[in-house]
Structure formats: structure tokens, C-alpha cells
Structure 1
Amino acid sequence: MSDVLFVVNAGSSSIKFKLYGVEGDQLEVMIAGALDGIGTRPRLRARDGAGQTLVEEDFTAQEIAGPHDAQHAIGDWITPLIDDHHLIGVGHRVVHGGPDYSHPVRIDDAVLARLESFIPLAPLHQLTNLDPIRVIRQRRPDLPQVACFDTAFHRGHPEIADRFALPRALYDDGVRRYGFHGLSYEYVSTKLRAIDPQAAAGAVVIAHLGSGASACALRDGASQDSTMSFTALDGLPMGTRCGALDAGVVLHLIEQKGMSPAEVGHLLYHDSGLKGLSGISSDMRELISSDAPEAALAVDYFCLKVAQAIAQFTVTLGGLDALVFTAGIGERSAPVRARIAERLAFLGLQLDADENERNALRIDACGSSLRAFVIPTDEEGMIARHTLGLLGDEGGEARQGAPRP
């Protein structure tokens, strides 16, 4: 009976999942799928390792009202497919590890309770990350589950990068710059080292540009700084999140506009960013194809802020050797990459228009002072590696009779 490993990457409106075959320390994707449209138009889709469709099933919004329901549906569908295999554990993406967790951790009652205490630091993500964990614990309480944290990759920052200009007591209490998208940055930096070891060993900025967006400064593969900080609101403008904002605006909204903290939170998390700027959409594809001046403003604003963040990190790093684009916009939007590169021409960055247009791996032009790459991210793959490594470090305990989900 062959070993398999299950990975869950839960978001606010979708749960992505992958089933991996395990052969020693090697992982091979057997099934990849997602249940998206949670609460609106839920749909379960999955393919096998060869790309053949295994399921396309629609649900009503009442049937799949939240991540809890979605995980039950995924478990009901995939359980029979695991019957002939030995499931060794489940790995999860958890956005916030707070000040406690700098490495993946086996989940127990105490860990779960501590992770729940971080929900206010990432209200858009943390709760939905934890719901599938609870469902699987309910269904199979003896199945090992591992939490892998988006904040962990940044925990080696020097203190100067972690601090706000606030009293020390608040820093000691956990009010600090954590950084996010760490699983993505870790995967992409590992891929860059395999593709171009010289570039990876130098000063690199990775731009993770999607509905959630951030940038990370790395030297020799280690995070030095990130645009996101205490929460996933900070830094770059995103699909519906505001990015960097004068704290006085929040005080103004509460004190002068009479908004409640909950109303302000909803505004900053759900009605800002590209959606707020354009008044049209949070989807970059729709904005680029639109003729509306508000759409053009939103796209230009996004590209400007990304370019400014990259330029800022050249100070942090003392220069720049390579720029990497990843995530949905970063991987697939040639116009956005081109506009960002135009603003960074003063650093010597030039893109090859044809290679950029086809989303090639290497997109810098001959004569460019900076190397530029497009590297697709794989958060699930990173979670799988961490989970397998942790369970292996436990001496194979998880491989002794772990049940299916």
C-alpha cells in the first residue's frame, strides 16, 4: 500500500487541495483540485496527475455556505480515492503564526487554540485556514495534521526590519512586522536557486502579485524585508485590500465619519484596493480590458506602488541583481510587468517584449542590468515538503496506521 499526503490551502472563497504520492522524500501530484465560489456559486473541480478531469460538480450556496461545508464535500469526494493508499497526514497553509511559530508544527488542542488567538491579526484568512483543520479533526481525530505558516519565512528578519516606531513594550507584546506570502516566497526562491544559482545568491526582489499582493527583499535566499507587516493589509494595493495607509485615515473614519471598527475593517479589507480605486472590479484582467478612466487609474496606481516598493528594497539590499514575478498577475499579466519595468528603467531593467508577452521564464532583454524572471508559485508543493519533513522528523510516527480523511 503506497503512502500519500494530502494538502489543503484554504482561502475566503475557495479551498485548493492536492493529493501527493510519497516515495521516500519524493512527491508526485496524483490529484489537484479546488472547491471555489464558496457561499455564492460553489463548484468542485479536480484533475489527476495527467490533467484528466476527475470531477466537475456544482453545489448551491446553501449546501456550501462556508469553508466548513467545503471541506466536508472535498472529504466525501476524495475519501474513496484514497482507500487503496496509506494516508500519512495532512498539511495546511495557515496565514499567521504570530510571534510563536517560526517553523511548521504538528497541530494539537493547544496549538489550535493559540492559532485561533491570531484571528484578529488576519481576519480575512486565519478563520478560513482553521475551519478545514477542525473538520478533519472531527472526521479523523488521529490523523496527523501540520500547520505551515505564511509568516515563518520572514522570521529571520533583523529587528530593525520587524519594528514599528512604537514603544518597545508593544513590540514585545507581538505588535511587529511579520510579513506574509512566505510559503510562496520560499518556493520561488528555491526554484530560482535551481534556475540561476548566481542570481539567487545575490540581491533579489520577488513580487507576489495576485488578489493578495506583496513584495519581498531577499539576499542569498533569506528574507530581509517585506511590504506586508503586522497584518495582510499593509504594503501594496490588492484586489480589495487597501495596502499602505496613513493610520490617521482610520482615526478620521472612526472619529469624524462615525464608522464603527467593524465598518472600517470591512472597508479596508473588502471595498478598497483595485475594487475601491476603480469602482468596477478587483480583477486585473477586467481592469486592463476596460476603457474606463477609473480602471486605468487603478492599474497605473498598482504598477506605480509595486515599482516604488521594488526601488525601496534596493536600499534595503544595497543594490539589486534580479527581479522575479509570481502569483496570478505576476505570472500571467505581461502588460502589468511591462509597466512596472518601465518605471524601473533607471535601475537598468529592460524587458524583452516578446519573451514578456509569452510569459517566458526569463524576460529581461539583452543588455539589461537586471535579470528578470517569471516563476509560477506552488504553495501546496511547499506545504507538502514541510509536512513530509516534519512527519519524517517525528520518526515515521505518522506512517503507522494513519487513517484516511
Structure 2
Amino acid sequence: MILVLNAGSSSLKVEVFDLQLTSVLSGSVTNIGTSGTLSVGGRKQEIETASHAHALSAMLAALNENGVGLEKLSAAAHRVVHGGTLLTEPAQVTPQVISAIENVTPLAPLHNSHNLAGILALQEAAPELPQYCSFGTAFHATNPDVAVRYAIPQTQHDAGIRRYGFHGLSYANMVAEFGEALPSRLLALHLGNGASLCAIKDGKSIATSMGYSPLSGLTMGTRSGDIDGAAVLRMSKALGEDETDRMLNKNSGLKALAGDNNMKTLLERDDEDAAFAVEHFCYWAARHAGSAIVAMGGVDAVAFTGGIGENAAPVREKIVEHLSCFGSFDVHVIAADEEKAIARDALSLIEAGQ
């Protein structure tokens, strides 16, 4: 079996797959560092954990009680949000890979350090277990230079200021789920509290809406999406850097427009603010979609994934209506499953003898 781990700032999520990539068991630990909940196989218990290592130890014990002991694991695989420009393929964890993850942590300080904490905690708990990692930015490494380069001085580009793109594991899973039926020019939309889209041509990402960070692009649940840099500078001068960061990432998007970032709730409301927030979300998704379609030279199919993409039919219908000017195309809904994509990456490396 393969154990997939997703370590967040205060949480640990796991899912176990067999070697046919069928999910066997899943679980989570919440509120690491204080009182939280340990959940495995639908059973929950209150737990206090002091660190990711402590949370992992409790999780491994719970998995063992549910018939998945360490001796049954072929490997562990991790989600790492940012791989920078060097980590563009799934990789087995080595000292060199750990060092590379540490080096790009400044590009994703809220994520990579916690992802790495999960890797190091498992190394300590099970030093003989092979570990692999998949990177959320890697799928977009095939974007051409013209798509990733900001028109800024070379010194800043060399310092890492460029478009990276995110949600890559979700898009990779989408491509795998299509298999041989994959359309040549696929407009893929991952719509959830975080939202992005990707132009996938012949199975490769050639453009995506998120850039240097997950803040840019579409209107999102609590993120603003694209905003003029001059406006950010003005707000930063007035509010300070930290408060501006908090506002744009935590208190903008649907939350700012209608006081709520839950799309289901907004669709159920009948007030003007809710209607405007939904329209804003759909309009800007379609605006960015037009750009992606230009990058592909047309569109053969549109696919939706993510919590909103899979469950909010009115949102899908409105976006497709906006895109009707591009002619006819097939529309698909694909279940998001980043964990399966990570397990698939690890299995491929295992089978390749890496």
C-alpha cells in the first residue's frame, strides 16, 4: 500500500491506496499544537498534539489499529505545494530533494515548511520506508517562457519573481482520468475556495491563471484574484504589508463582495450582493478562460473540478454561457483527487525502480 500525506500548518491528512490506486482508508488530525480531533475510517476522538511528529505518531497508531501497519506500506508520498524551477517532476525523497524544498520555501512559506515537517516526521518514525513527493507547481513547468515571464528587470526574474501556477496535482489527475479520451485542447477549471484554470494542450499545461502566488487570477472564496499592483502598493502604505496580505488573501473575493465565501449559501440567497458575487465569480472565470483559449488556439472541451466546479451546476452553466461565443465544445465534470495523483506519481517511480 501507499500512504499519502498532506501536512498543513495545523493539520495532517492521510489516505491509503492499494497498488491498483483504490482508496483503502483515510484520516486526519486537526489543530496540531493544541486540542484537536483524530479521525480515521469515520471514527473520531479528541486528541492533543504538540507537533507534526506527535500527530503523525498518533495517526500511524490509528492506522495500525485499522489494519494498516507500517509493515504493509510499500511507500509514503507527500504533497509539496511549491517546487520552484528545479523540482518539476515527482521525486524520491533524498537529502538533495529535502535541501531543494528548503531552498524554495521562501516562495511558499505558509505551505512548504509544513509539507517538509511531514516528510521529516515520517523519516524519524519509519526511516526505512521509501518516501516520494509530488509538487503542486510541477504540472505547469511545461508553460513556455512567454507565459511565465513578467515584464520586469532580469534581476527580479532571476530572484524568482515569475509565474509558477498552482493546483497542478488536480490538473494532472484530470488528465489521467481522461486517459486516451483526453481532448487536444482542454480548458480545465479547478473551482473551489481557491480557484484557477489551466490551458491543457495535448496533455501539457501551456498557460494557467495563477502566477507568482495563488492570489492571482480568478475571483476566489477569500482571495481577490487579479488586482493592479499600484493598488496593492497604495493599500500597503495605508494598512501595512501584513494587513494588506491578510486582506487580499483572507478577506477578499466572495467574502468581501457578499460577506460569505460559501458558494452553496450564495446561490441559495436572493439578495443583490449574493447575486453580484456569483456573477463576479463566473464573469472573471470566463474572462480568464478567454485568455487560455487564445493560448491553445481554440477549445475542444471544458472540464470542471473542485468543490464548486463539481457541485454548483448554476456556476458551470453561467461560465459555459459566457464561453458560447467560442462555438460548441464538450463539457465534463471530473472529481478532484489530488491524493490519487500523488499515489499515482509514487507508484510510477516505484515501478521505474527509483
Counterpart check, 1:45 vs 2:4: no
**Separation in 1 of the partners of 2:77 and 2:44?**
24
Deviations 1:277-319 (A, max 9, x none): 222x222112222234322222111111111111121211111
2:196 to 214, 222, 247: 214
CA contact under 8 A between 2:221 and 2:261: conserved in structure 1? yes
Cα 1:107–1:298 change in 2 (3 A) is same
Q: CA RMSD in A?
A: 2.4
Question: Counterpart of 2:207?
Answer: 225
Q: Among residues 251, 265, 273, which one is paired with 1:271 in the alignment?
A: 251
Q: Determine which structure has the larger helix proportion and give its number.
A: 2
2:93 counterpart letter in structure 1: I
Hey, what's the Cα distance between the residues in 2 that align with 1:242 and 1:308? 15
1:381 matched residue in structure 2: 340
Can you list the C-alpha shifts for 1:103-160, whole angstroms capped at 9, x where unaligned? 1122234432332333332244323322322221222233222110011111111110
Specify the alignment match of 2:43 in structure 1: 56
Cα deviation, residue 324, structure 1: 0.2
Report the residue type matching 1:20 in the other structure.
F
Instruction: Provide the residue aligned with 1:121 in structure 2.
Output: 107
Given candidates 287, 303, 309, the residue that maps to 2:266 is: 287
* Contact 2:63/2:69 (8 A) holds in 1: no
Amino acid at match of 1:386: D
Residue 133 of structure 2 corresponds to 147
Q: 1:34 to 1:339 in 2, by over 3 A?
A: farther
CA contact 1:322–1:370 (8 Å) conserved in 2: yes
Aligned to 2:184: 202
Q: Is the contact made by 2:60 and 2:69 (CA closer than 8 Å) also made in structure 1?
A: no
Q: How does 1:329-344 map to 2 (within 5 A)?
A: 329-344=308-323
Residue-by-residue CA offset, 1:353-402 (whole Å, 9 max, x unaligned)? xxxxxxxxxxxxxxxx111000112111111111122233336xxxxxxx
Q: Any gaps of 5 or more consecutive residues in structure 2?
A: none
The 10-residue stretch of structure 1 (200-209 or 73-82) with the greater mean CA deviation from structure 2: 73-82
The CA deviation at 1:273 is 1.7
Alpha carbons 1:325, 1:373 under 8 Å: kept = yes
Instruction: Give me the whole-angstrom Cα distance separating, in 1, the residues matched to 2:304 and 2:102.
Output: 32
Q: Deviations over 1:44-89 (max 9, x none)?
A: 434xxxxxxx3421426xx257756543432231134223843221
Question: Which residue of 93, 97, 102 corresponds with 1:107?
Answer: 93
User: In structure 2, do the counterparts of structure 1 residues 260 and 64 end up closer, same or farther at CA, with 3 Å as the change threshold?
Assistant: farther
Q: Which residue of 1 aligns with 2:79?
A: 93
Counting only pairs closer than 5 Å after superposition, residues 2-401 of structure 1 correspond to structure 2 as 4-12=1-9, 14-22=11-19, 26-36=20-30, 42-46=36-40, 54-59=41-46, 63-64=48-49, 70-80=55-65, 81-83=67-69, 85-194=71-180, 197=181, 200-255=182-237, 257=238, 259-279=239-259, 281-348=260-327, 369-394=328-353
Amino acid at match of 1:89: A
Q: For 2:60, what is the secondary structure of its paired residue?
A: helix
Say which SS state the counterpart of residue 119 (structure 2) adopts. helix
Q: Percent identical across equivalent pairs?
A: 39
Cα distance in structure 2, aligned partners of 1:172 and 1:123: 19
Letter in 1 for 2:282: C
CA distance in 2 between counterparts of 1:66 and 1:339 reads: 44
| Structure 1 range deviating more: 71-80 or 206-215 | 71-80
Note the alpha carbon deviations across 1:296-353, whole angstroms, 9 max, x for none.
22211111111111112121111111000001110111111112122222223xxxxx
Can you list the C-alpha shifts for 1:256-295, whole angstroms capped at 9, x where unaligned? x1x332222222222222222222x222112222234322
CA contact 1:151–1:178 (8 Å) conserved in 2: yes
Q: Is the 8 A contact 2:53 2:122 kept in 1?
A: no
Q: In 2, distance between residues paired with 1:237 and 1:117? A: 30
Matched residue pairs, number? 353
Distance in 2 separating the partners of 1:134 and 1:214: 30
How far apart are 1:17 and its partner, in Å? 1.9
Confirm or deny: 8 A CA contact 1:105 1:146 kept in the other structure. yes
SS at match of 2:117: helix
TM-score for the superposition, normalised by structure 2: 0.91
Within 2, Cα distance between the matches of 1:31 and 1:39? Answer: 24
Q: Aligned partners of 1:208, 1:58: CA distance in 2, in Å?
A: 32
Distance, in Å, in 1 between the alignment partners of 2:265 and 2:39 is: 24
The separation in 2 between residues aligned to 1:172 and 1:120, in whole angstroms, is 14
Query: 1:14 deviation in Å?
Result: 4.6
Inter-CA distance 138–73: structure 2 relative to 1 (3 Å threshold): same
Counterparts of 1:143 and 1:261 in 2: how far apart (Å)? 42
Question: Aligned AA for 1:291?
Answer: D
Aligned residue type for 1:77:
A
TM-score, scaled to structure 1 = 0.80
How far apart, CA to CA, are the structure 1 residues paired with 2:290 and 2:321? 12
Name which of structure 1's ranges 321-330 and 311-320 shifts more when overlaid on structure 2: 311-320
Q: Is the 8 A contact 1:217 1:223 kept in 2?
A: yes
Q: What CA distance in whole angstroms lies between the structure 2 residues aligned with 1:275 and 1:132?
A: 31
Secondary structure of 2:155's partner? helix
